[in-house]
Amino acid sequence: MSHYERILELRRQLEKFNHEYYVLDNPSVSDAEYDRLMQELIKLEQENPQFNDPYSPSQRVGGTVLDSFKQITHKRQMLSLANAFNQDDIEDFDRKIREALNVNVVDYVAELKIDGLAMSADYINGRLNYAATRGDGVIGEDVTNNVITIKSIPTQVNHHHNFEVRGEVYMPKKSLDDLNKIREQNGEPLFANARNAAAGSIRNLVSNIAASRKLVAVWYYFVNGSDFGIISHYQSLQVLKEQGFRINPHVRKCHGIEEVLNYIDEFAKLRPSLDYDIDGIVIKVDDITVYQKIGQTAKTPKWAIAYKFPPELAITQLKDIIFTVGRTGKITPNAVLSPVRVAGSLVQRATLHNQKFIIDRDLMIGDQVTLRKAGDVIPEVVSAVKEKRTGKETRFEMITHCPVCETLLEYKDPMHFCPNPNCSARNIEKLIHFSSRDAMDIEGLGEKIIELLFNEKMITSIPDIYKLERFSQDLMEIEGFSHKSIANLLDAIELSKAKSLEKLIFGLGIKEVGSKTAKVLAKKYQNIDALIQAKQEELSNIRDIGPVASASIASYFGNEVNLAVINELKTLGLNFDYLGPKDLGVDSIFKDKTVVLTGSLLNYTREEATEILENLGAKVSGSVSKKTDYVIYGEEAGSKLTKAQALGVKTMTEQEFIDSINLND
């Protein structure tokens, strides 16, 4: 057997073993035998580079580093699904389908709606051509280098034709827990849920990051299955399974909507026991030959719908209430909870905001409490389960002195503050804020690392961050640091010097100056020196900056200690100029207008849409009033849209917003 023939044979065997292990969960060889064959393949490929193949099983460990992802225009638009929130919505969906087809009963396919990242995989002659994210449904990102590291995805199949499949890349719950433990040890921010972790892994420019994250892919749509004589969605899934694609084992064909409703009830109960997160059930008409007759809207097919589970609630014990000190001195009570899994992640802490929040909810230490995740992200204590009280619970008492420096607290309704500017907790929080993602975004300089370096007296002020290199040898003596991690941290610190002015302004932690105000100031003054010279009266005349904020800004830049910090940062080489887009709003309909965003946007995140509008000169508000100029709405728009219509405020759909941007371009 020639080297080439042996390489092909090894690749075939290893792909077969990958499929058995990662798709069928039924391995036929030991790990040791798999590793032996893999090492043989790697050796042969190294000795015979002329036979290299980017889709070889040996390449699935990753290693590619990209500057950016190129764009892929989908051959067929990736539509979203309309949502159903209750039984009435589902029955209404069924009624419309039956009326459109003039039948009494419809066969459906019910599938678990896995909470992951939508993915399209295109195959030419049975070989993976590319994998792309959904993007805006028309254009996505080419993430092939990361997707081929997922061993449950076949890179070539026996179906030697051109076809496209769509599915979901997700992270199992255990993988998320393991990943967050590592991130916590490294002082990095934890992933809030498995979906964020999967998306962050797939959209990482370094492919071995994705390879290390233990992602899984399931496929739910054979896009052009009808080209091969397939007439049933359920049948198409079985064909995909036969070709080596992983499908969800809980897919079920249902005769009539009653069977669909039973399926929903069944998996609403089984949801916590699954090893992955689901946020609903997808319901599709099984007969794909009638899809064209049923039709679609511009964004959603009418032959499918997604039932969304109500917000998940959990009950756990409020074991204690502890207090943290923020960078402004604000004292925040926090719930210490018996660990409980909610909406995909393990929750042990939740903010209780302030004394009034606790009193209003009549929370007692020792209570059983209901917990949810606001927006499926932020843990929130909803209420006490008073009927479960035993009499051993204790009343909450607000502290009177700072838990760190013991200074007497000041009360400014409804908050308590530590007034000591030299409180170590406040200084640590200032450093954490400066390094955070919305500020200077220094990767690797998370909360635990900053606290460690502060206690070691290596970083006690913002300029110290940029002098950390002097402690390179000392860092080697600290557990968890290595030559590589130290080099990466110092590189990230160096890179942060080039951030645009608004990032620095926000990072300085000026009271009353959030990221939005920081951007307004940076655009207005263009460099730090011009901002420093601005008078309070001038600042108060800037739109969106009121008297309280202008007084705080003027006071900050009038303080010699703060100016000394800025001058030191200048000598350390930080950028103090605004580098963002300029004058985009000159001819924009949004220039100097107040805009409200509402509903679920399909093409942008809320943050992306806000940034676009702000760059066009708009003020983005969170509430609708007579002073609102435009309300831009997406799916599931609710009371804000209703109020806008009642007030006669101009409204526009997301697509109209996109069209207006294109016109402005």
Residue 284 confidence (pLDDT) = 97
On whether the CB atoms of residues 469 and 366 are closer than 8 A, the answer is no
pLDDT value at residue 31? 67
Does residue 379 sit in the same domain as residue 328? Answer: yes
Which portions of the chain are predicted below pLDDT 50? 62, 65, 664-665
Residue 104: how many other CB atoms lie within 10 Å: 7
Is residue 251 in some structural domain? yes
183 close to 449: Cβ distance less than 8 angstroms: no
Which CATH number goes with the domain that contains 510?
Answer: 1.10.150.20
Give the residue from 525, 528, 560, 564 showing the smallest Cα distance to 545: 525
Q: Structural domain tally of the chain? A: 6
434 and 388 in a common domain: no
Compute the Cα dihedral for 119, 125, 128, 132 and give only its sign.
negative
State whether 205 and 296 are in the same domain.
Answer: yes
Where in the sequence is the domain holding 630, given as residue range(s)? 594-664
| Ramachandran region, residue 115 (left: φ > 0; alpha: ψ -120 to 50; beta: rest) | beta
- Tell me what pLDDT residue 348 has: 87
Phi, psi of 335 (to 5 degrees): -80, 130
Sheet bearing 163-170, strands edge to edge: 127-133, 117-124, 163-170, 216-222
- Euclidean distance between CA atoms 61 and 236, whole angstroms: 31
Whether 591 contacts 616, CB under 8 Å:
yes
Task: Decide if 73 is inside a domain.
Answer: no
Q: What is the pTM of this model?
A: 0.52
- 202 and 289 in a single domain? The answer is yes
Q: What is the largest CA-CA distance in the chain?
A: 85
Give 496-528 as a DSSP string.
Answer: HTT--HHHHHHHTT-TT--HHHHHHHHHHHSBH
Q: Which two tokens stand for residue 88?
A: 């009435």
Does 171 share its domain with 46? no
- Cα dist from 581 to 352, 524, 527, 638, 657, whole Å: 39, 12, 14, 33, 19
> Does residue 151 sit within a domain?
yes
Terminal-residue alpha carbon distance, the chain: 61
Question: 10 Å Cβ neighbour count for 605?
Answer: 9
Res 187: pLDDT: 75
Element (H, E) at 174: helix 173-185
In a domain, 100, yes or no: yes
For 225, which DSSP code? G
Residues 399, 331 contacting (CB under 8 angstroms): yes
Asked whether 140 and 133 are in contact (CB, 8 A), the reply is yes
CATH number at residue 53: 1.10.287.610
Looking at the DSSP assignment, which residues form a beta bridge with residue 140?
72
Dihedral of the alpha carbons of 560, 561, 564, 568, in degrees to the nearest 10: -170
Q: Are residues 247 and 374 in the same domain?
A: no
- 304 & 318 share domain: no
**Region class of 152: left (phi > 0), else alpha (psi between -120 and 50), else beta:** alpha
Instruction: Please report whether residue 637 resides in a domain.
Output: yes
CA 147 → CA 128, 246, 286, 418, distances in Å?
10, 14, 29, 49
Same domain for 206 and 267?
Answer: yes
Measuring CA to CA, which residue among 114, 127, 244, 229 is closest to residue 167?
114
Residue that is last in its domain, among 308, 332, 355: 308
pLDDT of res. 582:
59
The Cα-based distances of 628 to 594, 604, 624, 635, 647 in angstroms read 5, 21, 6, 20, 9
8 A C-beta contact, residue 167 and residue 217: yes
Q: What pLDDT shows up at residue 168? A: 93
Map residue 289 onto helix, strand or coil.
helix
| Dist. CA 576–CA 497, nearest whole Å | 9
CA distances from 392 to 322, 337, 355, 365, 454 (A): 19, 17, 21, 9, 40
Q: What pLDDT is stored for residue 79 in this prediction?
A: 81
Same domain for 366 and 438, yes or no, is no
Domain boundary among 496, 528, 553: 496
Query: What does the alpha-carbon distance between residue 367 and residue 370 come to, in Å, rounded to a whole number?
Result: 10
Q: Please check whether residues 462 and 334 belong to one and the same domain.
A: no
Half-sphere exposure of 161 (CA within 13 A, CB side): 11
Quote the crossing angle between the two packed helices 3-22 and 31-47, to the nearest 10°.
140
The conformation of residue 296, written as its DSSP 8-state character, comes to B
**CATH number for the domain that contains residue 626:** 3.40.50.10190
Query: Residue 62 has what pLDDT?
Result: 47
Domain harbouring 268, CATH code = 3.30.470.30
Angstrom CA distances, 473 to 335, 454, 465, 469, 491, stand at 39, 17, 16, 9, 16
Active-site annotation holder among 16, 113, 299, 516: 113
Shared-domain flag, residues 275 and 166: yes
Task: Say yes or no: 148 and 173 in one domain.
Answer: yes
**Does residue 418 lie in a domain region?**
no
Whether residue 414 is preceded by a cis peptide bond, meaning omega within 30 degrees of 0, is: yes
Is residue 162 included in any domain, yes or no?
yes
- CA dist., res. 373 & res. 194, Å (int): 14
CA–CA distance, 634 with 136 (Å, rounded to integer): 13
Catalytic site includes residue 356: no
pLDDT digits (tens, 9 = 90+) for 604-646: 778 778 878 887 888 888 889 888 999 998 877 778 888 888 8
**Residue 379, φ and ψ in degrees, nearest 5:** -60, 135
Q: What is the predicted pLDDT for the residue at 238?
A: 94
pLDDT tens-digit map of 560-609: 999 999 999 999 999 999 987 655 555 688 888 899 998 877 777 787 78
The residue type of 181 is K
Cβ pair 504, 574 in contact under 8 A? yes
Q: Does 274 reside within a domain?
A: yes
Q: What sign has the CA pseudo-torsion 456, 458, 460, 465?
A: negative
Residue 616 contacts residue 588 (beta carbons within 8 Å): yes
Residue that terminates a domain, selected from 443, 467, 496? 496
Question: Locate tokens 């093409």: which residue?
Answer: 603
Tokens of 515: 């990221």
- For 172-207, the pLDDT digits (tens) are 988 888 888 888 787 777 776 788 788 888 887 777
Which of 502, 496, 413 has its CA nearest to residue 462?
A: 496
Contact by Cβ (8 Å): 162, 173: no
Q: Which helix (H) or strand (E) segment is 262 a member of?
A: helix 257-270
Burial of 143 (0-12, 13-18, 19+ CB in 10 A): buried
Q: What is the mean pLDDT of the chain?
A: 87
Whole-number Å distance between alpha carbons of 290 and 101: 8
Q: What one-character-per-residue DSSP string does 380-407 give?
A: EEEEE-GGG--S--EE----SB-TTT-P
Residue whose tokens read 């006490």: 384
Contact 371, 379 (CB under 8 A): yes
